[in-house]
Amino acid sequence: MTDAPLLEIRDVSKTFGSVISLSGVSTTVHAGQVTCVLGDNGAGKSTLIKILSGVHQPDGGELLLDGKPVRLGSPREALDAGIATVYQDLAMVPLMAIWRNFFLGSEPTKGWGPFRRFDRATAIDTTRRELLEMGIDIRDPDQPVGTLSGGERQSVAIARAVHFGARLLILDEPTSALGVKQAGVVLRYIARARDRGLGVVFITHNPHHAYPVGDRFLLLNRGKSLGDFAKDELSLPDLTRMMAGGAELEQLAHELERDPS
């Protein structure tokens, strides 16, 4: 791994009318590392995702990819640059087979001209192989993706992004609707993607999910950065306290205390 970050976010700001969604946010993402972006609802996480995925352009600051300034004008440009975003809804069709979902919109074909047709065998073999390389042993690639658990569906989406050339993987709250066991499944696959050399941006509001896999932590609150920390600069209790708004909670506790008189 080189010292230069795969992605650098420098003082990025974004406003919508009079609403400041992001203000002066900075962090870095290295290849083979996980940068966790934490914050509650309204913290600016969704806006940051959309800037990184090319949906929105920042009003201030800049993005650097491989040390060079880049402007991502659309999601297609982000994909072409190797930035893949896995949203919470996963963009999957529940009633379609796993292998059909894996290649949805990018189907392999064989033959020429009017004889060109979908190459089903290649799609099934590739899906099975790519999932196995990520450590995902599916029972049957023909089963509808809707029959998989939430963690398994997230894992298929991650493997799909890796297969189609992602160098930077942005994960939008992948563990938010999952139980402890299924969240653990997803965290394992995030670690596998990291170990394969990808840079990962893990968006979450749960410090207990972020800390085990994270190498760097950006904390957001109402569009502003509360800090950008390497793992050796921050313990899990510190991260949890900052996420919980330690000072605000202490003030609230004082306000709620009973008057002994």
pTM attached to this predicted model: 0.84
- Assign domain 7-256 one CATH number from 3.40.50.300, 3.30.200.20, 1.10.510.10, 3.40.50.2000: 3.40.50.300
> What does each of the 261 residues of the chain score in pLDDT, given as a tens digit?
447 899 999 999 999 988 889 999 999 999 999 999 998 888 899 999 999 999 999 999 999 999 999 999 999 999 999 999 988 776 788 898 998 888 887 777 777 877 777 788 888 888 888 888 777 777 788 889 888 888 888 888 888 888 888 999 999 988 887 888 888 888 988 998 899 899 999 999 899 999 999 999 999 988 899 999 999 999 999 998 888 765 454 555 556 666 665
Nearest to 158 by CA among 170, 173, 144: 170
What residue spans define the domains of the chain? 7-256
d(CA 223, CA 229): 17
Question: Could you count the other beta carbons within 10 Å of the beta carbon of residue 190?
Answer: 25
In this structure, what are the phi and psi dihedrals at residue 150, rounded to the nearest 5 degrees? -60, -40
Residue 83 half-sphere exposure toward CB, CA atoms < 13 A = 26
Nearest to 32 by CA among 215, 158, 231, 175: 215
- Length of the chain equals 261
